[in-house]
Amino acid sequence: MRTPDFSRRTFLKTGLVALGAAAFPSVSFASLMSDAPRVLQMNNLHTGERLLTEYFDGQDYQLSELQKINHLCRDFRQNEAVNMDRGLFDQLSRIQQLIGCDNQVQIISGYRSPATNEMLRGKSSGVAKKSMHMRGKAIDFRLEGVPLAEVRKAALSLKAGGVGYYPGSNFVHIDTGHFRSWS
């Protein structure tokens, strides 16, 4: 893995992307992140595993880094991993850009096996029977040190998928389905 480049050039590129997003809100979400490297610092709160990764180098997704993220986001109860939708990681990167931080992404739940999802459904009415977590298309998270309401606001502004707000459990849910929101 290359060392992340936090140079003035990267900072300016990121700023221009954000300015473009504000000036042209009808431009698609994917095009807003076209050529800036994307770095995430992640922590799975259940396993204690941490990862600092540049999963997109400015031109291509880095498959070996995506595999590391897939492992970190696995169903730790069943020790099963799937290929997570890389759009989730782009949403996380974009949320951080909008907030203006690179704080650690604290993962509550990534992939869930059907068995784990069913077990969690038995304990909570808030777990969907056909959860997008079971397809690797959803993640529950918070950003270290960032107010949850601020994370939610940034996620909603993307209009890039589902956004669930769970302040009582201290996390935001994002997914890569159609845009919708709930609390």
Average pLDDT, integer, range 104-109: 98
Domain boundaries, the chain: 8-182
The DSSP call for residue 76 is T
Residue 94 near residue 29, CB atoms below 8 Å = yes
* In the predicted structure, residue 4 carries a pLDDT above the cut 50: no
Q: Is the C-alpha dihedral spanning 46, 49, 53, 56 positive or negative? A: negative
What per-residue confidence (pLDDT) applies to 125? 77
* Range 8-182: architecture per CATH: 2-Layer Sandwich (3.30)
Task: Tell me the percentage of the chain whose pLDDT exceeds 70.
Answer: 81
pLDDT digits (tens, 9 = 90+) for 6-65: 455 554 455 544 545 444 443 444 445 568 899 999 999 999 999 999 999 999 999 999
Using pLDDT thresholds of 50, 70 and 90, give the confidence band for residue 76: very high
Average pLDDT, integer, range 175-181: 97
What per-residue confidence (pLDDT) applies to 97? 96
Average pLDDT, integer, range 102-124: 95
What per-residue confidence (pLDDT) applies to 124? 84
What is the overall mean pLDDT for the chain? 87
Which of 15-19, 130-134, 158-162 shows the lowest per-residue confidence on average (mean pLDDT)? Answer: 15-19
What per-residue confidence (pLDDT) applies to 25? 43
Residue 23, token pair as written in the block: 């000036």
Task: Tell me the percentage of the chain whose pLDDT exceeds 90.
Answer: 74
Total-model pTM: 0.81
Q: Tell me how far apart the alpha carbons of residues 126 and 28 are, in angstroms, rounded to a whole number.
A: 30
Sequence-separated (6 or more) residues with CB below 8 Å from residue 71? 81
Average pLDDT, integer, range 89-118: 97
| Helix or strand (DSSP H, E) at 168 | none
